[in-house]
Structure 1
Amino acid sequence: MGPGKRALSPGKRSVLVALTVVCAVTVLAAPGTAFAVPSPTPSPSSSPTPVSNKDLEAVREKLDKLYHAAAVATDEYNAAEEAAEQRSAEIVALAKKIVKGQERLTELKKRAGAAAAAQYRSGGLPDEAKLMLSDDPGAFLDGAGRVLQGERATKGLLAEMTRTQEDLEQYAKDASAQWQKLEAGRKAKAAAQKKIEQQIKAAEQLESRLEKKEKERLAELEKEAAYKAQTAWLDSGILKDIKGKASEEGRKAVEYATKQLGKPYEWGAEGPKSYDCSGLTSQAWASAGQGIPRTSQEQWKQLKRIAIEDMRPGDLIIYNGDASHVAMYIGDGAIIHAPRPGRTVTVAGAGSMPILGVVRPDA
Structure 2
Amino acid sequence: MSKRSTTTMAAVALVCAVTVLTAPGAAFAAPSPTPSPSGSPSRNPSGTSSSTPSSALKNADLEAVRKKIDKLYHDAAVATDEYNAAEEKADKQSVEIVKLAQKIAAGQKKLDRLESSAGAAAREQYRTGGIPREAQFMLSGDPQQFLDNAGRAYQGQQATKNLLSELTRTQKDLAGYAEDASAKWKDLEEGRKKKAASKKKVEKQIKEAQALEGKLEKKERERLKKLEEDAERKAQTAWLSSGVLKEIDGKASKAGKEAVQFATAQMGKPYVWGAEGPKSYDCSGLTSQAWAAAGTLIPRTSQEQWKQLKHVDIEDMRPGDLIIYFDDASHVGMYIGDGAIIHAPRPGRTVTMAGAGSMAILGVVRPDA
TM-score (norm: length of structure 1): 0.87
The 8 Å contact of residues 316 and 360 in structure 1, kept in 2 or not, is answered as yes
The 8 Å contact of residues 321 and 334 in structure 2, kept in 1 or not, is answered as yes
Q: Does the C-alpha gap of structure 1 residues 119 and 262 become closer, same or farther in structure 2, counting only changes over 3 Å?
A: same
Cα distance in 1 between the residues matched to 2:213 and 2:278: 28
2:85 pairs with 1:88: no
- SS of residue paired to 2:354: strand
2:316 pairs with 1:319: no
Look at both structures and tell me which one has the larger radius of gyration over its CA atoms: 1
Match of 1:100?
A: 106
Q: Look up the equivalent residue of 1:242 and give its one-letter code.
A: I
Residue of 239, 257, 269 corresponding to 2:263:
257
Q: Structure 2: which 5+ runs fail to align? A: 1-25, 39-51
Match of 1:245?
A: 251
Q: Does the C-alpha gap of structure 1 residues 125 and 353 become closer, same or farther in structure 2, counting only changes over 3 Å?
A: closer
Match of 2:46?
A: none
Q: Look up the equivalent residue of 2:165 and give its one-letter code.
A: A
The 8 Å contact of residues 27 and 67 in structure 2, kept in 1 or not, is answered as no
- SS of residue paired to 1:210: coil
Cα distance in 2 between the residues matched to 1:129 and 1:355: 85
Cα distance in 2 between the residues matched to 1:325 and 1:210: 27
Cα distance in 2 between the residues matched to 1:99 and 1:65: 51
The 8 Å contact of residues 35 and 55 in structure 1, kept in 2 or not, is answered as no
2:165 pairs with 1:168: no
- SS of residue paired to 1:356: strand
How far off its partner does 1:36 sit? 2.9
Match of 1:270?
A: 276
Match of 2:364?
A: 358
Render the CA deviation track for 1:240-269: whole Å, top value 9, x for unaligned.
100001000000000000000000000000
Percent identity over paired residues: 69
- SS of residue paired to 1:36: coil
How far off its partner does 1:133 sit? 4.1
Cα distance in 2 between the residues matched to 1:117 and 1:94: 34
- SS of residue paired to 1:298: helix
How far off its partner does 1:113 sit? 1.5
Render the CA deviation track for 1:184-229: whole Å, top value 9, x for unaligned.
0000000000000000000011001000000000000000000000
2:328 pairs with 1:331: no
Give RMSD over aligned pairs.
2.1
Cα distance in 1 between the residues matched to 2:73 and 2:138: 95
2:202 pairs with 1:212: no
Cα distance in 2 between the residues matched to 1:101 and 1:224: 65
How far off its partner does 1:143 sit? 1.9
TM-score (norm: length of structure 2): 0.86
Cα distance in 1 between the residues matched to 2:352 and 2:203: 23
Q: Does the C-alpha gap of structure 1 residues 114 and 307 become closer, same or farther in structure 2, counting only changes over 3 Å?
A: same
How far off its partner does 1:230 sit? 0.1
Cα distance in 1 between the residues matched to 2:277 and 2:134: 81
Match of 1:64?
A: 70
- Segment of structure 1 superposing worse, 143-152 or 67-76: 143-152
Q: Look up the equivalent residue of 1:36 and give its one-letter code.
A: P
- SS of residue paired to 1:157: helix
Q: Does the C-alpha gap of structure 1 residues 123 and 284 become closer, same or farther in structure 2, counting only changes over 3 Å?
A: same
Match of 2:47?
A: none
The 8 Å contact of residues 317 and 326 in structure 1, kept in 2 or not, is answered as yes
Residue of 32, 36, 48 corresponding to 2:33:
36
Q: Does the C-alpha gap of structure 1 residues 128 and 155 become closer, same or farther in structure 2, counting only changes over 3 Å?
A: closer
Q: Look up the equivalent residue of 1:275 and give its one-letter code.
A: Y
Match of 1:23?
A: none
The 8 Å contact of residues 115 and 150 in structure 1, kept in 2 or not, is answered as no
How far off its partner does 1:151 sit? 1.3
The 8 Å contact of residues 28 and 67 in structure 2, kept in 1 or not, is answered as no
2:81 pairs with 1:75: yes
How far off its partner does 1:147 sit? 1.9
Aligned ranges for residues 216-235 of structure 1 at < 5 Å? Answer: 216-235=222-241
- SS of residue paired to 1:318: strand
How far off its partner does 1:117 sit? 2.2
The 8 Å contact of residues 318 and 337 in structure 2, kept in 1 or not, is answered as yes
Q: Does the C-alpha gap of structure 1 residues 31 and 57 become closer, same or farther in structure 2, counting only changes over 3 Å?
A: closer
Cα distance in 2 between the residues matched to 1:248 and 1:126: 73
Cα distance in 2 between the residues matched to 1:55 and 1:306: 40
Count residues with an aligned counterpart: 332
Structure of higher RCO (CA pairs closer than 8 Å, 6+ residues apart): 2
Q: Does the C-alpha gap of structure 1 residues 47 and 172 become closer, same or farther in structure 2, counting only changes over 3 Å?
A: closer
Q: Does the C-alpha gap of structure 1 residues 346 and 201 become closer, same or farther in structure 2, counting only changes over 3 Å?
A: same
Cα distance in 2 between the residues matched to 1:106 and 1:356: 58
The 8 Å contact of residues 125 and 131 in structure 2, kept in 1 or not, is answered as no
Q: Look up the equivalent residue of 1:205 and give its one-letter code.
A: A
